[in-house]
Structure 1
Amino acid sequence: MDGDERQIVTITMLAHAAVHVFELSIPVFIPIWLVEFGLTPAEIGLVVALGYGIYGIGALPGGVLADRRGSRRLILFSVVGMAASFVALSLARDPIVLALSLVLWGVAASVYHPAGLSLISTGVSRRGTALGYHGMAGNVGIALGPLATIVLLLFFDWRIVALALTIPAIVTIPVVLVSNPDESGAEDAADGDGEPDDVSLRRTLIDDTRTLFVGAFAFVFVLYVLEGLYYRGILTFLPELLAGFAVFEPVAVGDRSIDPDQYLYSGLLLVGVASQYAAGRISDRIRPERGVLVVFLSLAVLAVLYVPAVEAGPVPLIAVSVLLGLFLFGLQPFMQASVAEHSPPSVRGLSFGFVFAGIFGIGAAGAAVSGFVLTYSTPAVMFLVLAAFAALAVPVAYAVLDRY
């Protein structure tokens, strides 16, 4: 990679880690918010789904802005806004302020993925490898956000912890400010006969959308929605579910009690670092849709096996959890490579805006679905519903392989 490409990889890795530090700390706070704000799982599911939904829906205008105004300034807006939102969250005294703070976080976080992934796909020649590094950084944030939250909650009030979680975003801000990479270097080299910038700027959103949805991208969008329903449905309540499973006994450390189930949750997220890197390298060598098909099939099986693994004891539960982390996060580089394969460079930001609106916007309903099922049914039923989402994705991925 040249100097511009290294700048792109650096700022996107830092910002991606910061996004997910915030995102995956939220489920750890849920048991506390249930008590402090007097909410039911269904109610907190709706509150969280609101913030996560804005996180997804905002990706669409974020993608349009990335194509029109460039990605770097949007990344800067994202990290500044997320830090501000968690400052507001630390001041919440009622469910309304809690919800508004999560909405503010969703607005700021929403523009990152279309901006960051568009920047990688148009500015870095070794796209799959860069996406792998990007995914690894995201998984570091995904794992360390909950882990840091769990550890800090042993010693501090949750409001202090929310403030502490702003540190990764604050560290990222000056790095983004001093960077100035060529945002389209890879596409300029690979597609020298592509559409001129002035023509691209005159195209309407309707024209761009029609360009995207006439072919395989429509199937890729459906895959992202199904991934979002599974991803958000399983991760939002997993800390609460693990705490309720009578598999691990609390461990006394001095005058404090540590719940091993919380560290299992963090471990599940951490193993995704390796799978993100491996999947990114593999996606440079095979059709990414083939990887998507295999991973979704595996996720369906793992969801069916999760509750039986809990009942079988700690070792089967740990094994299934590790596999869940590997496949859940290993899916992402394959999905992102599929977007790049089936969208023109001139609307790459818009394409990532659409798919992240699908995964985090429509997919945010997964949190509400899981909360509803847990309120009126059982964890076993919740996992079966999630398995159905993954199973539905298998024929969709096969359709892309077969037709395109």
Structure 2
Amino acid sequence: MNNPAALREQPAMQTNTRRRALLAGCSAHAVHDGLTDLIYVLLPIWQVQFGLSLAQVGLLRGAYSGMMAGFQLLASRAAKRWGRERLLVGGTALAGLAYLLVGQAGGLTVLLLALMVGGLGASTQHPLASSLITDAYEPGGGVKEALSQYNFAGDIGKTLLPGLIGLLLIVVDWRTSVTLMGLLGLAAAALLWWLIPAREPAHVRSSKAANTAPSAGSPGGLRALLATGALDSAVRMGFLTFLPFLLKSKGAGTAGIGLALTLLFIGGAFGKLLCGYLGARIGMMKTVWLTESATSLMIILAVFLPYFGLMAMLPLLGLALNGTSSVLYGVVPDLAGPDKREQAFALFYTGTIGGGALAPVVFGRLGDATGVPVAMVTLAVMLLLTLPLSYAVQRGLSR
């Protein structure tokens, strides 16, 4: 016989668990993405400080992102043995420790090793925080909306932490600035240790298990989703690579290019939040068709519009350009079995990060050969390949 008092405790306990899991996941995403994008602010300083070539500068950036992308699958597997919560907290602490080491670096070798340590710590965040939120929200619904908030939080971190270190660099040197960022990472790890919900009582776990239907997932749908995400990410990074050159050809100066990117990123941040909710309301395929078709059209318009017309369109373009990612993240749990979520998220994030990293190289060569306008139109046409891919994803969901 069920204990009435225990049954009354369940809704309040589940609500608290959901809130703590969402806050923990969003905090981890904001801190990790912020620490990752700090590197863009610091690279020019390191180049002057250590006399680096452009190839060495690229090596530093690639070391962090390569470690982050390459170890995500390993992090998802290690979570099964060591525990998701421990690994997420440990990875966040490792990212903070890396910046403490950066603050002590006297040359390229130590700097490179420190950034590799930071990338290793960052590899835990995407798959583990995503699955933490998914598991917390699945019993009561709202997974897609929660993941869109998680996605939005990453963009907040990308805006706040690089801006914060920019302000710090006005009053203190770069070593002090990165040391403070390292301490922030360690503080975030302590916060996560406190925030991540404790293991639930046995009667709550058994109740969830009884009400959750087993699912083997859809490997074919997951492969189609991975291809969709990689293609979407590649086009997004390719567009961001070409946009400054397109703006310059229309008469924009440095300040104008900076303003344009700000408008695009503001639209993109809200797109990640809003499109996740839209996908939960009208479905994944309809939302992807809407956002990707709009993005493709606006990329073509960007080539032909005058400067002020392009500037006015950029927030809307950012909304559609970035919004698709939240819709795609939201269906990863639907296509993966409950015991394979960390691995599915790791695969998805590895694919999207890989596609985004490869795109500037491939499309840069295309731009050299054909010119920026032709390359951007090619991007727009290529993006339409996500439409049949999203149909394949929908078939996987229907099964």
Question: TM-score higher than 0.5 here?
Answer: yes
Among candidates 74, 83, 89, match of residue 61 of structure 1: 74
**Which runs of no fewer than 5 residues in structure 1 stay unpaired?**
197-207, 251-258
Equivalent residue for 1:293? 289
Any unmatched runs of 5+ in structure 2? 1-13
Equivalent residue for 2:25, pick from 12, 22, 43: 12
**% identical aligned pairs:** 23
Moved more, 148-157 or 63-72: 148-157
1:39 aligns with 2:44: no
Change (3 A) 1:214 1:177: closer
Structure-to-structure mapping, 1:2-401, within 5 angstroms: 2-30=15-43, 37-40=51-54, 44-45=57-58, 47-92=60-105, 95-124=108-137, 125=140, 126-153=142-169, 157-166=173-182, 168-181=184-197, 191-192=209-210, 214-235=219-240, 237=241, 247-249=251-253, 259=255, 261-309=257-305, 312-313=306-307, 315-369=308-362, 379-380=372-373, 383-384=376-377, 386-387=379-380, 389-401=382-394
The whole-number CA distance in structure 2 between the counterparts of 1:28 and 1:212 is 41
Count of residues in correspondence between the two structures? 378
Of 20-29 and 372-381, the range deviating more from structure 2: 372-381
Tell me the TM-score normalized by structure 1. 0.78
Q: Is the 8 A contact 1:54 1:361 kept in 2?
A: no
Q: CA deviation at 1:376?
A: 7.6
Give the whole-Å Cα distance in 1 for the aligned partners of 2:246 and 2:175: 23
**Distance in 2 between residues matched to 1:32 and 1:265, nearest whole Å:** 22
Report the counterpart of residue 256 of structure 1 in structure 2: none
- Which structure has more relative contact order (CA 8 Å, sep 6+)? It is 1
Tell me the distance in 1 between the aligned counterparts of 2:317 and 2:200.
36
Q: 2-side partners of 1:325 and 1:81: how far apart?
A: 32
Query: Residue 98 of structure 2 contacts residue 182 of structure 2 at CA under 8 Å; is this kept in 1?
Result: no
Task: Give the Cα–Cα distance (whole angstroms) in 1 for the partners of residues 341 and 326 of structure 2.
Answer: 16
Q: Could you say which structure has the higher helix fraction?
A: 2
Asked if the contact 2:148/2:274 (under 8 Å) is kept, the reply is: yes
Q: How far 1:360 moved relative to its partner?
A: 1.7
Q: CA deviation at 1:374?
A: 7.0
Q: State whether residues 67 and 346 of structure 1, in contact with CA within 8 Å, keep that contact through their aligned partners in structure 2.
A: no
What SS does the corresponding residue of 1:285 show, helix, strand or coil?
helix
Q: Provide the rounded CA distance (Å) in 1 between the counterparts of 2:94 and 2:344.
A: 23
Shift of 1:49: 3.5
SS at match of 2:220: coil
Q: Deviations over 1:217-245 (max 9, x none)?
A: 1101111222332344455x579759967
Letter in 2 for 1:225: A
For 1:159 and 1:266, locate their aligned partners in 2 and report how far apart those are by CA, in whole Å: 27
Quote the residue 1:202 is aligned against. none
Task: Provide the rounded CA distance (Å) in 2 between the counterparts of 1:25 and 1:377.
Answer: 33
